[in-house]
Chains A and B, each alone.
Chain A
Amino acid sequence: MVSFILILIASFFFTGIVVRVKSLAQGRKGPVILQPMYDIWRLLRKGSVFSSTSSVIFQIAPSIYFASVLMAMCVVPLCGNQGLVSFEADFVFFAYVLAIGKFFTIIGALDTGSSFEGMGAAREALFSMLAEPAFFILIGTLGLLTGNMSFASIFETFHFGSYTSYAFAGIAAFVLLMICMIENSRMPVDDPKTHLELTMIHEVMVLDNSGFDMGLIMQATNMKFAMYSALIANLFIGNLEWYTSIGVFFGVEILCAIAVGMVESFMARYRMSHNAQFILVLTSLALLMFFGVMASQGRI
């Protein structure tokens, strides 16, 4: 429960920091950190516009997406507290719960009958499929390294002190950050701020959502950011005391937000056809780590 609340708090300022970093990089002052939350709060109270083509799927899709992210947050441990739901191989559950949210976002987009949204849906389905194996191999490898297979026990036993675990944490943090960017459809694979529907992935899928639903979708994105950053933070917390670990958690959250902002400011989006290669590179990185762990355990 502690992790759930901490991630929720982090989600309130994560996107705000990203936006602020981007505007500073462009030489602007930028809005206040909590501006995205004000926007969401406004959206939640606004009325909605529905397409006459859409059906009940369109109405429930954002809610199920939001619920799936909430459920995934329940699985993530933090600061020595296990998640609300914690068991061996819970990362499989984590990934599949997020998948059901994605499933509904995709069919929600198809429900509008818009060709733009169909296009976004097809891309989302493809790219998230490609990112799947990287995540499984990565967490499986961490499990192999620590001899445990649940999030909580993996992170508890992931000690620092040996050079190899520093190296593994570094690679793992990079892969997780990239998976986070893909899952949230951010810069190297997707540009949410582009001016043209044809070049978007996630944003184009929610073109027809408005009001409360849009608010849910935006907050779900914030929470997803905070949640993946929490996984990264876990790599560096180990079994620290609770007061230090909370500090480390917020530190990592802020660093991740700054990293996202920097990537978005200084990188261009890849061509859509190059995305597949880029995402598969993550899988090979995870595999590299797998072999590294095998080697460090003297099994090669």
Chain B
Amino acid sequence: MSLTNLFNIVAEQEPFAIDTLSWWFIAIVTFVFAAGAWYGKGYLGHYESKPVQFRMHWLSYAVTYIGMMVLFTTNNMLVFLLGWELMAIGSFFAVIFENEKPLVLKAGINYFIQSHVAVLLITAAFGWAWSVSGLLNFDGIRSFLAQASEMQTFVFMMMLVAGFGFKAGIIPFHSWLPHAHPSAPSHVSAVMSGVIVKAGIYGIVRFASMMSVGQTTVGVTVLILGVMTGLYGILNAAVHRDFKRMLAYCTIENIGIITMGIGVGLIGCGRGDSTLAVLGFAGALLHTLNHAIFKALLFFGAGNVYVATHTRNMEELGGLIKVMPQTAFVFLIGSLAIGGLPPFGGFVSEFVIYGSFLDGFGADGLSIPVLMALSGASLAIIGGVSMLTFTKSFGVIFLGEARTQRPHVVHEVKNGMLWPSYLLMLPMLAVMLMPTLFFGMTTSIAESTYNLNMGAASTGAIAGFAEILGKVSIGFVIFAVIAGIVVALRFNAVKKAPTHVTNTWGCGYGAPIKGIQYTSKSFARTLIELFKAVLPSSSRYKAITTEEIFPKDRSHMSADSDFWENSLVNPITSGIGKVLDKFQFIQNGDLQRYIVYGLGYILLLVASATLL
């Protein structure tokens, strides 16, 4: 089939269709991209690159956005892949803005390759559907899945989940995130982490809706993957000292939470339990919105810190709240929201997901209720570790005393880099005050995308849950009022009584060095020991022996690595590398040999022409 032919086929089938699910993602992506562009304007002002580099950067930023829009609006497999490719290439060039640094380039190429492994999986799945149904639009997938057996559906969906999992950062496909996010400029990290990974979520939600059998099996698999991703992501986030890498792992955690919601939703679909399905999907979609907002907020805050201090290592920082109070405020709000702490937006979506787990308790049989209980407990653990991670990060970066002397004066960033963060707080405030509205939107998206048969019971249950969310927001207001009153009373009382300022208590010792403060590593030490099995870290230290009466200077070095990268990704890639090394004799840099290759090729051509 020639290229024009292909164009005609695609055009005849009306390749674009926008439904509510598309709108939801378009709205989130556009908002975060706009905020990111505003922030990036100020952020890139700190670089002394050539104008052509800036132009190239913004071009790739725009291409990424266009690719995503194509992705969300298309109704055709080929156009979908085209949009996916545009997004992957655009974001690759956006990531390697600082391409003079070898590490950045390496991370970028890692990302580029992994996104293409994802494309490979998705293309294979699409090709399968196309070869059976003969249609290039999504109806082809629908008709393929309508006749597929349960096993075929499962394999097909797993190919897609793996493919989209690469983009979203579901373990074990997440290993590009912790490299790419720290390397990218902060506004690109914000859109990557906030919305580009959500393209994977969109793909899963979109294509899972086309299944006609076997949703429960796929749902259970996705739920378990989600739980593992969430736990793994947050445990790693608690360990890392590079604050942008910490945020990258935290993204993995939140993708896990979203995936849990999708898994519960699919289980609901499979069991014909519309209430469970709607709660699961609504929680996932709502968390997609919330996470996009507060992750962008956190990356903006992290970008401000990086611009002001030129380091991403939180062990070198401390006490920044005194010089950068506004950035500290932004980061604090982001930290509270991402931990799902009331009254901030994150609580609403996590609450809906908890609600779906509790709803699943009542399901028949043994396996689903047990799975729900364990998932709920895992979500509670994730919440707890997330609190540890963010108290640590906020505390080490912004509180206490500076751990090292920066070579320059650290001061607050320009307003142009703070306003985008305040802009992001507006939708967060909206979710806080009107959770019912947002819940209503996501439930109707879930119902229409999945064609759920909402009986009177389910409609009533969902309306009841919306009412609960209304009460939650009242709870938020009451809490805010109580906190306000207590703080006001406290400041009034403290003002009346005598106060004086002195050193921090140090057991009577008044001149401790700054380095004695608790660091990020020491804060997470016990946790690392508890989860040694999945948190590999190497250290280099020579212990003091008893023979050494006057110990000499010592140094201690420790590095944290990624369990899945070490045990799965690296063996595979090095295995492929080893096989390919065998063919290295072909490329040997010897000019004469290359001439022989050329000669051989020409001979082959002549021979084949005469023989055939």
Contact = CB atoms under 8 A, between A and B. Distances in A.
A129 B464 contact: no
Interface in B129-149: none
Interface residues of B, number: 87
A268 interface: no
Interface string A78-107: 000000111111001101110110110011
B361 A67 contact: no
A300 B366 contact: yes
Interface stretch (A9-17, A120-128, A229-237, A253-261): A120-128
Given A122-B518, A122-B526, A128-B384, A143 B321 contact: no
Give the secondary structure class of B's interface: helix
B322 interface: yes
Contacts of B401: 53, 113
A48 B498 CA distance: 7
B427 interface: no
Interface residues of A, number: 88
Tell me which of B354, B399, B517 has the highest count of chain A C-beta atoms within 10 A of its own C-beta: B399
Given A88-B465, A89-B354, A99-B383, A47 B394 contact: no
Contact of A63 (B340, B400, B486, B522): B486
Interface in A269-285: 272-273, 276, 283
A54 B355 CA distance: 39
Nearest to B474: A85
Given A87-B471, A110-B518, A55 B381 contact: no
B494 A133 contact: no
A112 interface: yes
Interface string B490-526: 1101100111111111110000101011100011111
Contacts of A135: 380
B440 interface: no
A110 B322 CA distance: 14
B377 A133 contact: yes
A299 B485 CA distance: 49
B339 A84 contact: no
Given A97-B479, A103-B336, A133-B381, A113 B504 contact: yes
Interface in B429-477: 464-465, 467-468, 471-472, 474-475
B127 interface: no
A49 to B, nearest CB: 6
Given A57-B321, A103-B387, A64 B518 contact: no
Contacts of B493: 44, 212
A147 B351 CA distance: 19
A294 interface: yes
A144 B361 contact: yes
A48 B388 contact: no
B487 A149 contact: no
A225 to B, nearest CB: 19
A110 B381 contact: no
Contacts of B575: none
Tell me which of B400, B491, B517 has the highest count of chain A C-beta atoms within 10 A of its own C-beta: B400
A118 B522 contact: yes
Contact of B494 (A66, A149, A207, A211): A211
A260 B381 CA distance: 26
B384 A132 contact: yes
B500 A49 contact: yes
A119 B518 contact: yes
Interface string B377-412: 111110111011011101110011100000000000
A28 interface: no
B377 A52 contact: no
A263 interface: no
Contacts of B530: 126, 276
Contact of B507 (A111, A197, A213): A197
Contact of A51 (B384, B388, B502, B526): B502
B365 interface: yes
Contacts of B478: 71, 74, 84-85
B472 A93 contact: yes
Tell me which of B392, B467, B502, B526 has the highest count of chain A C-beta atoms within 10 A of its own C-beta: B526
3 tightest CB-CB pairs across the interface, nearest first? A118-B518, A129-B384, A110-B395
Given A71-B483, A110-B396, 18 more contacts: A52-B502, A63-B486, A63-B490, A64-B483, A67-B479, A74-B478, A87-B471, A88-B355, A89-B468, A96-B347, A106-B387, A119-B518, A125-B384, A133-B378, A135-B380, A144-B362, A211-B494, A294-B369
7 contacts: A49-B502, A71-B475, A87-B472, A93-B342, A106-B395, A122-B388, A144-B369
